[in-house]
Chains A and B, each alone.
Chain A
Amino acid sequence: MVNCNWKATFRFITHSPKSFFQRRCIPPSRNPTFLPSASTSEFLCLGQRVFPFFNSLSNRVDITEGCIGMPSAVLRKCYGSTAGLVQRNPKYSTLNDEDVSYFEGILGKKNVIQDEERLVAANTDWMHKYKGSSKLLLQPRSTHEVSQILKYCNSRCLAVVPQGGNTGLVGGSVPVFDEVIISLSSMNNIVSFDKVSGILVCEAGCILENIITFLDNEGFIMPLDLGAKGSCQIGGNVSTNAGGLRLVRYGSLHGNVLGLEAVLANGTVIDMLKTVLKDNTGYDLKHLFIGSEGSLGIVTKVSILTPPKLSSVNVAFLACKDYIICCWTDQNCFNTCDVLMELKRLEGKLLQEAKRKLGEILSAFEFLDIQSMNLVLNHLEGTRNPLPTMHNFYVLIETTGSDEAFDKQKLEAFLLHAMENELISDGVLAQDINQSSSFWHLREGIPEALMRAGAVYKYDLSIPVDKLYNLVEEMRTRLGNVANVVGYGHLGDGNLHLNISAPQYDDKILSQIEPYVYEWTSKHRGSISAEHGLGLMKANEILYSQSRETVQLMASIKNLMDPHKILNPYKVLPHSFSS
């Protein structure tokens, strides 16, 4: 009897690390009840004002609003972004039965999906903020099939949206109107892996976490890791040039992607699947596909340089009194106020010090504020504050190296120094992998906690590190108590995730946020999209971060590569440039 008992318990404990990992990522099929009350807010919003809406007659979408509305008969949208008004471009054909038969001919019936339920999922983005009304989802299994689909769509002028794991946060991965969805999910094979060079070649639909597991068995890691790893695909990551949690160590995908294969709008397959590190033969066109969000072609294969897995990983979760201490740089001395002057005496600054003292082993430097921490603790089960009391700021530092004793000593010396200089007020150092995972979960769980808290306005900004948190504070002042303003992000990369959480989407809140956030960012020469891309949400805002001439050149490139503009229309470039 007793024996059975411990067996049961033991099963529980051996399974828990797995559930931790699962908690660290997005479940592949999300339970709708976990999603915020989008549907309620949709209708609330509907009741408030009457806007020109999209239906079969007007084909218009108003995206100046705070949410999506979809009453049964009429599809009408209002997004949490002042992206402006988009109309369905009448030059695109409407899908007919012949088209469907044609696709069935090349893909087989099974891979041409018209099932309502599956279409609802593919039409709706992760945040439940953007919703298209596509009637067709295609699941090609090979580059050749992708090529055939595009060739046909191009000839018919049928607009398409490439879709990976559909975890994008800017409304780029779902149709705006009735674009045909091309999902890469069935192209999920590892093509080759070279154990000597660490070069991996795989199809675009491989889920990031599966690649991570595959590499782990081979003794390598992905240079890219992010909270959505359980669902997002490498093709989607490349197409959004995802940054994530390890960029501070391994750099961006522009450096790690060695080559790729892509299909152009007219079906031409471009083979740039290089597996060499150096290749200076003409224009390096693969870069056009990295971060262009499916607007220039569909990425079908990727070749990526993966670093060897190092045995020693340490994670520290630290508390700071003040943001300024997290990142402090010398300019701050002039932001006078007695406290800051006092801080001026501190010789160290946590981020600078970490870069200097942990240099070669630093692999992540993330931050969250007390508001983010409260959200996670309130909305995610099984989370607890690792520290005895609450603090205004938290920093998660990860080191990765090859010598456990050496790394630990180095990290402890750094932390001791930081404590002595009052750069940190408290902290914990993970003693095992389970503890590391639970510290990571606090940081990676924020987007999910925000989703559960209600409506959320997300901004992903690059801002000089020393000014980065000023924006959060200004927004807090601007919005008062109508919304909860939270700040977290990849501090090591100067990347702020400014999130404004409210019970429901509301025009008044939105008008307090936009365009102020964009103007502020532009004024500080930051970027209005550090890593999430522009998608639909920010297509019209690109000029805050790029010059008119640059955008003009982008539009010319788009015109050259996709003259009928069938690839992911209404996204990335301003509508005035692309029509």
Chain B
Amino acid sequence: MKIMVAIKRVVDYAVKIRVKPDKTGVETQNVKMSMNPFCEIALEEALRIKESGFASEVVAVSMGPSQCVDTLRTGLAMGADRGIHVDSTATLFPLSVAKLLKALVEVEKPTLLILGKQAIDDDCNQTGQMIAGLLNWPQGTFASKVIVDKEKQVATVDREIDDGIETLSLDLPAVITTDLRLNQPRYATLPNIMKAKSKPIKKYTPQDLKVEIKSDLEIIQVTEPPKRKAGVMVSSVDELINKLKNEANVI
């Protein structure tokens, strides 16, 4: 059984996001880029499934500019067996990514496709659902627990929903998207970083996969959230009451 994992290169989530002066997007020049945290969780889950003997290979896929190879190397250092890079400098919206993944699924024929539930840059939360629709595979989104039964060819997925935990049983092949509490990803150890250097990364272009990249969406403007006004210190209870009454009009 083979598992395919999609990993995205995004602005590191500890970096303070700055909007470009022309409001066309966020600044990515000279900004630390890392693997999307939810994708890290997806990869970790794939590795754990492999380590428990239910899978024989984990293939990591990343799409975007050439630096995605760095993200793939991180994935390989965590333990993925091979990498696939879909080289594209065009902006990739979820539907394009889903189409590219579908083409790769047809080549690689994985039994399980695991993705992060969303990427922290555009917060779309769509790719997993779209690829499941395109492939007509069952989907378990926001997974907080995954158990694979190799005999029965079934994946049991727990999802955290407002009312509690929902448990789904998915016939394989299936798509799973991961939530934050699914697992704690491992670190890349030095011996594994060294080993990752010789693991293969195959490169495709969208043309190779016969997918036309066109944007179905147009970004009109990106703006920063309004700045919070600085607080004031009140010196007495009376002043506070006065402000609540007359300025905030809440009492």
Interface residues of A (CB under 8 A from B): 1-2, 4-6, 9-10, 12-14, 17, 20, 110, 216, 311, 313, 316, 318, 384, 386-388, 404, 412, 415-416, 419, 424, 426-435, 437
Q: Are A432 and B194 in contact (CB under 8 A)?
A: no
Chain B hits for A387, CB < 8 A: 187, 189
Contacts A5-B142, A429-B193 given; indicate if A10 touches B118 (C-beta within 8 A).
yes
Q: Are B189 and A426 in contact (CB under 8 A)?
A: yes
- When A and B form their complex, which 7 residue pairs have the shortest distance between CB atoms, in order from nearest? A432-B34, A433-B14, A17-B14, A428-B187, A427-B190, A431-B74, A1-B162
Contacts A2-B142, A13-B120, A110-B235 given; indicate if A433 touches B191 (C-beta within 8 A).
no
CA distance A4 to B142 in the complex (A): 12
CA distance A6 to B187 in the complex (A): 25
CA distance A434 to B187 in the complex (A): 11
CA distance A415 to B184 in the complex (A): 25
Chain B hits for A431, CB < 8 A: 34-35, 74, 77, 187-188
Smallest beta-carbon distance B138→chain A, Å: 16
Candidate in B30, B142, B190 with the most chain A CB atoms within 10 angstroms:
B190
Smallest beta-carbon distance B75→chain A, Å: 9
CA distance A426 to B189 in the complex (A): 7
Q: In B156-189, which residues have CB < 8 Å from any A CB?
A: 160-163, 179-181, 184, 187-189
- 30 CB-based A-B contacts, threshold 8 Å: A2-B142, A2-B161, A5-B161, A6-B117, A6-B118, A9-B142, A9-B181, A12-B180, A13-B37, A14-B13, A20-B14, A110-B235, A311-B30, A313-B32, A318-B190, A404-B32, A419-B191, A424-B190, A426-B191, A428-B187, A428-B188, A429-B190, A431-B74, A432-B13, A432-B35, A433-B15, A433-B34, A434-B13, A434-B14, A434-B37
Closest to A311 in B: B30
Contacts A9-B179, A431-B35 given; indicate if A386 touches B187 (C-beta within 8 A).
yes
Smallest beta-carbon distance A429→chain B, Å: 6
Residue-by-residue, is B43-83 near A (CB-CB < 8 Å gives 1, otherwise 0)?
Answer: 00000000000000000000000000000001001000000
User: Is B12 positioned at the interface, with any CB of A under 8 Å from its CB?
Assistant: yes
CA distance A17 to B125 in the complex (A): 21
User: Is B224 positioned at the interface, with any CB of A under 8 Å from its CB?
Assistant: no
Residue-by-residue, is B14-37 near A (CB-CB < 8 Å gives 1, otherwise 0)?
Answer: 111000000000000011101101
**What does DSSP make chain B's interface, helix, strand, loop or mixed?**
loop
Smallest beta-carbon distance B168→chain A, Å: 13
Closest to A430 in B: B187
Chain A hits for B16, CB < 8 A: 216
* CB < 8 Å neighbour of A13 from B13, B32, B184, B189: B13
Chain B hits for A311, CB < 8 A: 30-32
Q: Are B14 and A412 in contact (CB under 8 A)?
A: no
Chain B hits for A110, CB < 8 A: 235
Chain A hits for B77, CB < 8 A: 431
Chain B hits for A216, CB < 8 A: 16
User: Is B123 positioned at the interface, with any CB of A under 8 Å from its CB?
Assistant: yes
Count of A-B contacts judged by CB separation below 8 Å: 96
Q: Are B13 and A435 in contact (CB under 8 A)?
A: no
Q: Are A13 and B180 in contact (CB under 8 A)?
A: yes
Interface residues of B (CB under 8 A from A): 12-16, 30-32, 34-35, 37-38, 74, 77, 117-118, 120, 123, 125, 141-142, 160-163, 179-181, 184, 187-191, 193-194, 235
Q: Are A6 and B13 in contact (CB under 8 A)?
A: no
Q: Are A437 and B190 in contact (CB under 8 A)?
A: no
Chain B hits for A429, CB < 8 A: 188, 190, 193
CA distance A429 to B190 in the complex (A): 7
CA distance A527 to B179 in the complex (A): 52
CA distance A263 to B118 in the complex (A): 57
Smallest beta-carbon distance B36→chain A, Å: 10
Q: Are A419 and B190 in contact (CB under 8 A)?
A: yes
Candidate in A313, A426, A434 with the most chain B CB atoms within 10 angstroms:
A434
Chain A hits for B31, CB < 8 A: 311
Smallest beta-carbon distance A376→chain B, Å: 16
CA distance A2 to B177 in the complex (A): 13
CA distance A435 to B188 in the complex (A): 10
Q: Are B194 and A419 in contact (CB under 8 A)?
A: yes
CA distance A141 to B156 in the complex (A): 63
Q: Are B37 and A1 in contact (CB under 8 A)?
A: no
Q: Are A435 and B120 in contact (CB under 8 A)?
A: no
Chain A hits for B163, CB < 8 A: 1
Q: A110-B235, A386-B187, A429-B193 are in contact. List 16 more A-B contacts (CB 8 A).
A: A1-B161, A1-B163, A5-B161, A9-B142, A9-B180, A10-B118, A10-B120, A13-B38, A13-B180, A313-B32, A318-B190, A419-B194, A427-B189, A428-B189, A434-B13, A434-B14
Chain B hits for A316, CB < 8 A: 190
* CB < 8 Å neighbour of A5 from B13, B32, B162: B162
Closest to B36 in A: A432
CA distance A326 to B5 in the complex (A): 38
Contacts A12-B180, A14-B13, A110-B235 given; indicate if A6 touches B191 (C-beta within 8 A).
no
CA distance A10 to B74 in the complex (A): 23
CA distance A435 to B32 in the complex (A): 13
Q: Are B13 and A415 in contact (CB under 8 A)?
A: no
Closest to B75 in A: A431
CA distance A13 to B179 in the complex (A): 10
Q: Are B37 and A433 in contact (CB under 8 A)?
A: no
